Amino acid sequence: MGRFSLLLLLLCGGCDLVFGLDEDPTPCTPASFEGATAVAITEADYFTVDWDQTFAVVSAGGLMWEVPLPQGTPVAIDLGVYVDMSLSLAPEGTALFYTAAIEPPLLRGALRTGDATWTLDANAPRGTFAGTPSADSFGPQHVLVRLRPNDVDIVEYEDVDGVWTERGTHPMPGALAPNLTPNGLVMVYADGAGVFAATRASRDEWFGEPTLILPGPYVQPQLLGKCQNLFVTDNTTLQRFDR
């Protein structure tokens, strides 16, 4: 069990945590979304979506919101006094990595203890920007993290008995950190000109060559629904593309 899930169980005092999650233990095949029609969801500078696509956390206008999906009314949430960016939900929707936009930027963690209710200061790996981690359902959680702003390298961490442990460092384009699919076998990222995805056969190895799946100046893309749904923002609007 990953550190986020363990901490959430302690905070909930044994409450039932049931997630209707569905994902293959093998990598899905990312294909092009070029030509697909975008569905506008809500205003968003940054965003992240849970595995079941039931809600999103977004940063918009300097404030933080939870947004019921597919198109619900945003509800304000409190993640502290700073403007936040680079949002990354655990697939189960129980925990969040986010970066406070201060100098230097600060990677933080929070636990979701109820609708629009968060407990702050959960443990986060060392670094500045984190992508969405893999799910507990597939073994120890993995997450990709950019250690410093403008750093060319990404570090992969694995949760080893509650300790985020480095598993390798790799050069990666883009300003933030790639998001993982829930099984940890597909990563997706943006480099300013387009959205790219890459797969691997096992979480013990690095990813193969990336493929362009959507051109355009998007930020922090996220693949869900076995690679059939792509969420992106252009720093203005959260959008969903479907295949």
Number of helical (H) and strand (E) elements in the chain, helices listed first? 1, 20
8 Å CB contact between 133 and 2: yes
DSSP states of 73-114 as a string?
--EEE---SS-EEEEEE-TTSSEEEEEE-SSS-EEEEEEEEE
pLDDT above 70: percentage of residues in the chain:
90
| N-to-C CA span, the chain | 33
pLDDT, residue 124, reads 96
CA atoms within 13 A on the CB side of 196: 16
pLDDT, residue 58, reads 97
pLDDT 10s digits, 107-122: 999 999 999 999 999 9
Burial per residue of 45-71, b for 16 or more beta-carbon CB atoms within 10 angstroms, e otherwise: bbbbbbbbbebbbbbbeeebbbbebee
- pLDDT confidence tier of residue 93, bands split at 50, 70 and 90: very high
8 Å CB contact between 13 and 214: no
The token pair at 184 is 């940890």
8 Å CB contact between 162 and 6: yes
Q: If residue 40 lies in a helix (H) or strand (E), which one and from where to where?
A: strand 38-43
Instruction: Name the phi and psi angles at 25, rounded to 5.
Output: -80, 5
- pLDDT confidence tier of residue 23, bands split at 50, 70 and 90: low
Nearest alpha carbon to residue 207 among 50, 27, 31, 24: 27
Average pLDDT over every residue of 7-14: 40
For each of the domains in the chain, give its residue range(s) and CATH number, in order of start.
Answer: 3-13+20-242 (2.115.10)
pTM assigned to the model? 0.89
pLDDT, residue 192, reads 87
pLDDT, residue 12, reads 40
Residues in the chain: 243
Nearest alpha carbon to residue 190 among 171, 168, 172: 172
